[in-house]
Amino acid sequence: MNKEKIQEIFRVVRANNSNVIPEVFSKQIFEYAGVNIPKQEISSTEDEAVYLAKKIGFPVVLKIHSFQIVHKSDAKGVLVGLKSSDEVREGFREIIQNAAIYNKTSDKFQVTVQEMAEPATEIIIGMKRDEIFGPVILFGLGGVWVEVLKDVSLRVLPLTERDVELMFTEIKGTSLLEKFRGNEARDLASLKNLIFQLQNLVLEFPEINEIDLNPVFLYEKGHGNIVVDARIVLNTVSSLYIEEVISIE
Ligand code: ADP
Ligand code: MG
């Protein structure tokens, strides 16, 4: 884990008077923790977006990048499967326009250009620090499984390998992770590894209050996983201050 680089991102976020780390920086932190993420770069102009799309390789995904916008789809700020320079040019303009309608600050919006990951089983992994229990992790299948059926498994950190295996079997949709009919089993070894990478981050950095990986694409056994959206929330500076005061006493 590259701790210095991760702390550097924390400083940039604090310098922007924020504690919610935008997607690209959150994923970058996960990359520094050894996690697989899509290639991603930030563009400020149409020309730059086209240049980056060619460098990354089509098809690409474009997403709004701003400290002001947390739920990018709500701001109509995500476009997937863009296949040409023209589509990227048009997409860039559309996302900037939508952002200006959604968030009427004087912010200069930027757009991230990302490698488009192959579709797969969508997983969500969350973490929140509970006042009483400490860090609690949430695991579930993405989409309707979590949004409609609330099909999730929860555990207090730290986890053992056995805990993680139990989480996989506890959810109602567990058979989607296993071999059934024509479907190959999912890469649960890589998923377990990802959960431990997240746990290491949480144990290493007490200033991380919340993590949301939504979604993670999980491939067939042997093909790993990729985190396509991440959000890390730091504690607020006031609670940092309180911790300092307590440690002085
Ligand atoms: P939001 O902030 O709205 O949650 P996401 O970054 O999760 O935005 O993007 C919305 C959806 O677009 C994701 O759930 C996923 O299905 C798809 N998506 C996002 N990024 C990628 C990517 N790099 N490759 C493939 N699909 C992606
Ligand atoms: Mg998301």
Pocket of ligand 1 contains residue 38 by CB under 6 Å: yes
Q: Which domains does the chain have, with CATH numbers?
A: 1-38+117-248 (3.30.470.20), 39-116 (3.30.1490.20)
Task: Yes or no: say if 141 and 159 are a contact pair by the CB < 8 Å rule.
Answer: no
- Token digits for 221? 């056994």
Pocket of ligand 1 contains residue 77 by CB under 6 Å: no
Pocket of ligand 1 contains residue 73 by CB under 6 Å: yes
Pocket of ligand 1 contains residue 125 by CB under 6 Å: no
Q: Ligand 1 atom 22: the closest Cα is on which residue?
A: 116
Q: What does pLDDT average to over the chain?
A: 93
Please provide residue 177's backbone torsions phi and psi, each rounded to the nearest 5 degrees.
-90, -15
Segment 43-76, tens digit of pLDDT? 999 999 999 999 999 999 999 999 999 999 999 9
Alpha-carbon distance 92 to 82, whole Å? Answer: 11
Segment 160-177, tens digit of pLDDT? 999 999 999 999 889 889
The DSSP bridge pattern shows strands 78-82 and 60-65 to be antiparallel
Q: What is the pLDDT along the chain (249 residues), one digit of tens a residue?
A: 999 999 999 999 999 999 999 999 999 999 999 999 999 999 999 999 999 999 999 999 999 999 999 999 999 999 999 999 999 999 999 999 999 999 887 678 999 999 999 999 999 999 999 999 999 999 999 887 787 778 899 999 999 999 999 999 999 889 889 988 878 899 999 999 999 999 999 999 999 999 999 999 999 999 999 999 999 999 986 555 555 656 655
Which pTM value belongs to this model? 0.92
How many angstroms is it from 62 CA to the middle of ligand 1?
9
Task: Yes or no: say if 152 and 140 are a contact pair by the CB < 8 Å rule.
Answer: yes
How many angstroms is it from 2 CA to the middle of ligand 2?
25
What is the structure's pLDDT at 145?
A: 78
Long-range contacts (CB closer than 8 Å, 24 or more residues apart) made by 7-16: 10/205, 10/207, 10/234, 13/234, 14/234, 14/237, 16/67
